[in-house]
């Protein structure tokens, strides 16, 4: 090794470790007896269900009960301090879930959420399900009993609706899935109660089974205590609500209905217009559109979705960001058509505090160009389960716009179950246009040699018409997590010519190794719940072995039983810049070798309070100068109707090539008139890009699955003035769900 060259090669110890681990003990989850209870079949003619949240119909007293929940936090395995009772009944149309969340201090129950899809969320760093600031109960249904995938329904004492999909044992928690169901809740003298009605047509499950069993779990948070309890899977040894294999059993589901045609059609009608300023003149463009989304269950568990003249006018705009790095920013998908069953198409690695290093498929490549939205002429998606296989197929045609040619995008995906929790999969993505093509494909796998141990990886290749674009990538990773100790390590290679037009690659021509170790003591002092102590190390070279980057540092993160927490981290390292780049188009960073140091923090008060404060930031020495960022936030939820969130970040950039400050601010206002009528406003400001914007959205769910949207957008900011008018648009869109 000399002249800055590091001989980093494929770590053979990974292969040996994999063989050893696959030969180790069986899964602990399979050796553990899980709790079970049965659903009760009722006759809707003689015992109709009145959905009011009171659970006063006689059949609720006859139904078996799932209870005896145990703590995951703060005292692992201890009996819950408050009693939770869950019962299930069903008729020929729907399954009904009754919840009694008893509480010794009913007046202390916290319920400040009324808006749909706010009761839970994905953890910002780990991606697993977590509750927001209210008391709430979530139900998991593994309808195929495959111990991998599930649907989630949750509610709070206000009867707010939340639904989501869990894919591959929590590999993805898709909070944007939207099912057709209803819930009502009531505050009671001993806590609160709720009734959920979920039509069987909303669920996918095997047909023709005389006596079915589903995976089932209950997850409750008692918010004032920050106590989390589960019916099954409460162990901190890599279990939890997202581990579908750790769920209990719902038995006795006899002769579930055959849903016949099972066809859904959702037409839309849209009217509105846009205005845009060009060369000092304002051009107006009226708009009228109609379109259709259709859903058909081809066979039990396999669903075909078709979209024609697709429109996303109601989608929330992206959050403003300032790019202070040499790599592309990453914005999450928000469009409904691409969100449903999105976890099936997951292939690659999303990384941690960074853009995803490698994704074979990234749906925002379809219909979104750098300069604006590209029209979607139509598309279809086939997703679901066939025996032991999970399959997905997607094909979308986009029109030409913003120098993007008319293109056909196609994705094919299959995953085969192996044993209790393992899978082996394959995926191919393809883009075709008049004068060219790009194709990428590969194999991936995930094995669980033990309940706390996951081994996963992939190998992929890309090909492109014309010169370049033909290369490959691979990754192998090991993740071991227990309550007190965790270890994650990976090795990733991406070839210099790798090119996935339908995916996302942050950086080509790299060999990368990462190690992340965690130790979590739980001292019984100062009101502490736990202290997370981490040590991380990373090394990046080019494929030829030339050193590019390295980093090393500790992390210190205490969390209190109150819910307050903060995290401190420090790192030292090195960056090699091979090609010059601009930071926010303002400061040029020339090629060269740069030392790196960074001190940062994340801090936040408990979310069970009406006012939640946060303060993030980092002080960095990089690229021969300094980049410092401070980002405070404030959330205020005075009642169940009104929610406000104020966020601001200020960055000071002082490098040899120049200096500037960047300010980004946002104000979110939400007012929920009812669980079905919500108004949202998002105001944003970004002086680095000379942009200010406003979006106002009104959503009225006029019947389950059917919506009325009123949306207004305005963008200001030009090269001459931050406040000069750029463009605006207003639309009214109505959808109506028809079920056959």
Q: Which of 461, 463, 460 is nearest to 437 (CA)?
A: 463
36's CB contacts (< 8 A; 6+ apart) are: 248, 249, 250, 251
Q: Report the distance separating Cα 516 and Cα 518, nearest Å.
A: 7
The DSSP H or E segment spanning 337 is: helix 336-339
Partners of 705 in beta bridges: none
Q: What is the pLDDT of residues 466-505, one digit of tens each?
A: 888 899 999 999 999 999 999 999 999 999 999 999 999 9
Instruction: Write down the pLDDT at residue 211.
Output: 64
Q: Report the distance separating Cα 120 and Cα 286, nearest Å.
A: 39
> Is the per-residue pLDDT at 214 higher than 50?
yes
> Is the per-residue pLDDT at 204 higher than 90?
no
Chain-wide mean pLDDT for the chain? Answer: 90
Cα 577–chain centre separation: 32
Contact 502, 338 (CB under 8 A): no
The DSSP secondary-structure symbol of 639 reads: S
Q: How many CB atoms lie within 10 A of CB 498?
A: 24
Q: Is 342 helix (H, G, I), strand (E, B) or coil?
A: helix
Instruction: Write down the pLDDT at residue 637.
Output: 94
Contact 618, 628 (CB under 8 A): yes
Q: Report the distance separating Cα 490 and Cα 512, nearest Å.
A: 8
Residue 575: pLDDT band by 50, 70, 90 thresholds? Answer: very high
Residue 577: pLDDT band by 50, 70, 90 thresholds? Answer: very high
Instruction: Write down the pLDDT at residue 740.
Output: 85
Q: Which of 596, 548, 536, 556 is nearest to 572 (CA)?
A: 596
Q: What is the pLDDT of residues 663-678, one digit of tens each?
A: 999 999 999 999 999 9
Poorest-pLDDT segment among 58-62, 174-178, 205-209 = 205-209
User: For 241-327, where are the E strands, in sequence order?
Assistant: 248-254, 263-278, 281-299, 302-310
Poorest-pLDDT segment among 156-160, 398-402, 616-620 = 398-402
Percent pLDDT > 90 in the chain is 72
Instruction: Write down the pLDDT at residue 16.
Output: 38
Cα 141–chain centre separation: 18
> Is the per-residue pLDDT at 28 higher than 70?
no
Contact 305, 293 (CB under 8 A): yes
What number is the average pLDDT over the span 265-291? 89
> Is the per-residue pLDDT at 625 higher than 90?
yes
Residue 261: pLDDT band by 50, 70, 90 thresholds? Answer: confident
Q: Is 223 helix (H, G, I), strand (E, B) or coil?
A: helix
Cα 512–chain centre separation: 25
Q: What is the pLDDT of residues 604-621, one digit of tens each?
A: 999 999 999 999 999 999
What number is the average pLDDT over the span 359-368? 92
Question: What is the separation, in whole angstroms, between the first and last Cα of the chain?
Answer: 69
Instruction: Write down the pLDDT at residue 209.
Output: 64
Q: Which residue has the tokens 């209790």?
A: 420
Q: Report the distance separating Cα 77 and Cα 289, nearest Å.
A: 56
CA-derived radius of gyration, the chain? 26
The DSSP H or E segment spanning 659 is: strand 658-672
Domain ranges of the chain: 1-26+328-506, 32-254
The DSSP H or E segment spanning 655 is: strand 642-655
Q: Report the distance separating Cα 665 and Cα 631, nearest Å.
A: 9
Percent pLDDT > 70 in the chain is 95
What is the topology classification, in CATH, of domain 32-254? Immunoglobulin-like (2.60.40)
> Is the per-residue pLDDT at 27 higher than 70?
no
> 670: buried, middle or exposed (CB in 10 Å: 19+, 13-18, 0-12)?
buried
Largest CA distance in the chain: 84
What number is the average pLDDT over the span 249-265? 84
> Is the per-residue pLDDT at 734 higher than 90?
yes
- In angstroms, the Cα distances linking 209 to 205, 256, 327, 547, 682 are 10, 8, 52, 59, 48
> Is the per-residue pLDDT at 125 higher than 90?
no
What number is the average pLDDT over the span 450-457? 92
> Is the per-residue pLDDT at 259 higher than 70?
no
What number is the average pLDDT over the span 138-162? 95
Contact 402, 369 (CB under 8 A): yes
Q: Report the distance separating Cα 210 and Cα 254, nearest Å.
A: 5
Poorest-pLDDT segment among 166-180, 518-532, 629-643 = 166-180
222: which 2 tokens?
A: 């008692």
Question: Who wins on pLDDT, 333 or 628?
Answer: 628
Instruction: Write down the pLDDT at residue 350.
Output: 87
* pTM of the predicted model as reported, rounded to 2 decimal places: 0.88
Q: Report the distance separating Cα 254 and Cα 227, nearest Å.
A: 35
What number is the average pLDDT over the span 258-284? 85
Contact 149, 170 (CB under 8 A): no
Cα 572–chain centre separation: 31
Contact 663, 648 (CB under 8 A): yes
Residue 10: pLDDT band by 50, 70, 90 thresholds? Answer: very low
Q: How many CB atoms lie within 10 A of CB 403?
A: 8
> Is the per-residue pLDDT at 342 higher than 60?
yes
What number is the average pLDDT over the span 373-395? 91
Instruction: Write down the pLDDT at residue 260.
Output: 66
> Is the per-residue pLDDT at 158 higher than 50?
yes
Q: Which residues of 441-472 are buried (b: 16+ CB within 10 A; e: fewer)?
A: bbebbbbbbbbbbbbbbbebbbbbeeeebebb
Q: Are strands 40-41 and 84-90 parallel, antiparallel or unpaired?
A: parallel
Q: Report the distance separating Cα 462 and Cα 469, nearest Å.
A: 7
Residue 11: pLDDT band by 50, 70, 90 thresholds? Answer: very low
> Is the per-residue pLDDT at 210 higher than 80?
no
Q: How many CB atoms lie within 10 A of CB 653?
A: 25
Cis peptide before 74 (omega within 30 of 0): yes
Residue 87: pLDDT band by 50, 70, 90 thresholds? Answer: very high
């Amino acid at each position: 090794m000399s002249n800055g060259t590091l001989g980093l090669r494929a770590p053979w110890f990974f292969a040996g470790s994999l063989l050893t681990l696959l030969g180790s003990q069986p899964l602990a989850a399979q050796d553990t007896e899980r709790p079970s209870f049965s659903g009760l079949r009722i006759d809707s003619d003689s015992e109709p269900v009145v959905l009011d949240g009171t659970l006063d119909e006689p059949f609720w007293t006859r139904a078996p009960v799932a209870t005896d929940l145990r703590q995951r936090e703060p005292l692992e395995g201890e009996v819950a301090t408050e009693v939770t009772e869950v019962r299930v009944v069903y008729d020929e149309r729907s399954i009904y879930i009754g919840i009694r969340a008893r509480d010794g201090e009913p007046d202390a129950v916290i319920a400040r959420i009324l808006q749909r899809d706010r009761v839970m969320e994905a953890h910002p760093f780990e991606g697993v399900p977590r509750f927001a600031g209210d008391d709430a109960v979530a139900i998991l249904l593994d309808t195929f009993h495959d111990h991998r995938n599930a649907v989630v329904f949750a509610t709070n004492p206000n009867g707010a609706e939340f639904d989501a999909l869990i894919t591959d044992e929590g590999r993805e928690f898709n909070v944007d899935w939207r099912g057709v169901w209803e819930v009502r809740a009531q505050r009671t003298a001993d806590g609160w109660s709720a009734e959920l009605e979920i039509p069987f047509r909303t669920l996918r499950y095997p047909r023709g089974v005389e006596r079915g069993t589903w995976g089932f779990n209950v997850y409750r948070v008692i918010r004032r205590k920050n106590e989390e309890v589960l019916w099954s899977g409460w162990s901190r040894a890599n279990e939890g609500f997202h581990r579908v294999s750790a769920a209990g059993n719902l038995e006795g589901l006899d002769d579930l209905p055959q849903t016949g045609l099972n066809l859904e059609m959702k037409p839309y009608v849209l009217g509105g217009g846009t205005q845009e300023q060009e060369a000092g003149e304002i051009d107006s463009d009226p708009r009228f559109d109609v379109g259709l989304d259709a859903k058909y269950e081809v066979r039990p568990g396999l669903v075909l979705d078709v979209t024609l003249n697709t429109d996303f006018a109601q989608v929330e705009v992206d959050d403003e960001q300032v790019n202070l790095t040499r790599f592309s920013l990453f914005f999450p998908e928000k469009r409904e058509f691409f969100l449903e069953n999105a976890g099936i198409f997951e292939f690659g690695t999303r990384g941690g505090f960074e853009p995803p290093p490698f994704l074979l498929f990234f749906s925002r490549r379809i219909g979104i160009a750098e300069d604006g939205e590209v029209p979607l002429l139509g598309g279809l998606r086939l997703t679901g389960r066939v025996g032991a296989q999970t399959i997905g197929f997607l094909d979308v045609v986009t029109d030409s716009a913003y120098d993007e040619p008319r293109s056909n995008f196609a994705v094919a995906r299959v995953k085969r179950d192996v044993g209790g929790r393992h899978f082996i999969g394959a995926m191919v993505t393809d883009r075709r246009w008049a004068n060219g093509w790009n194709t990428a494909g590969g194999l991936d796998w995930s094995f669980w040699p033990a309940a706390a141990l996951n081994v996963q990886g992939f190998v992929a290749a890309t090909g492109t018409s014309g010169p370049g674009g033909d290369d490959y990538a691979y990754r192998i990773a090991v993740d071991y997590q227990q309550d007190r100790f965790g270890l994650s390590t990976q090795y990733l290679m991406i070839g210099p010519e790798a090119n996935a037009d339908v995916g996302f690659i942050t950086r080509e021509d790299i060999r990368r190794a990462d190690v992340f170790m965690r130790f979590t003591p739980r001292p019984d002092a100062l009101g502490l719940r736990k202290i997370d102590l981490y040590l991380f190390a990373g090394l990046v070279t080019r494929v030829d072995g030339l050193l590019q980057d390295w980093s090393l540092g500790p992390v210190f993160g205490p969390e209190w039983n109150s819910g307050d927490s903060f995290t401190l981290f420090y790192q030292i390292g090195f960056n090699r810049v091979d090609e010059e780049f601009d930071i926010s188009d303002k400061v040029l960073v020339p090629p060269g070798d740069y030392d790196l140091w960074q001190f940062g923090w994340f801090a936040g008060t408990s979310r069970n309070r009406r006012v939640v404060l946060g303060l993030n930031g980092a002080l960095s020495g990089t690229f021969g100068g300094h980049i410092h960022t401070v980002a405070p936030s404030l959330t205020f939820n005075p009642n169940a109707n009104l929610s406000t969130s104020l966020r601001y970040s200020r960055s000071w950039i002082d490098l040899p090539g120049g200096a500037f400050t960047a300010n980004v601010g946002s104000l979110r206002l939400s007012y929920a008139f009812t669980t079905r009528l919500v108004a949202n406003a998002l105001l944003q400001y970004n002086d680095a890009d000379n942009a200010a914007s406003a979006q106002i959205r009104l959503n009225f769910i006029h019947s389950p699955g059917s919506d009325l949207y009123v949306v207004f957008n305005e963008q200001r900011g030009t090269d001459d003035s931050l406040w000069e008018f750029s463009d605006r648009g207003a639309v009214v869109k109505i959808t109506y769900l028809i079920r056959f």
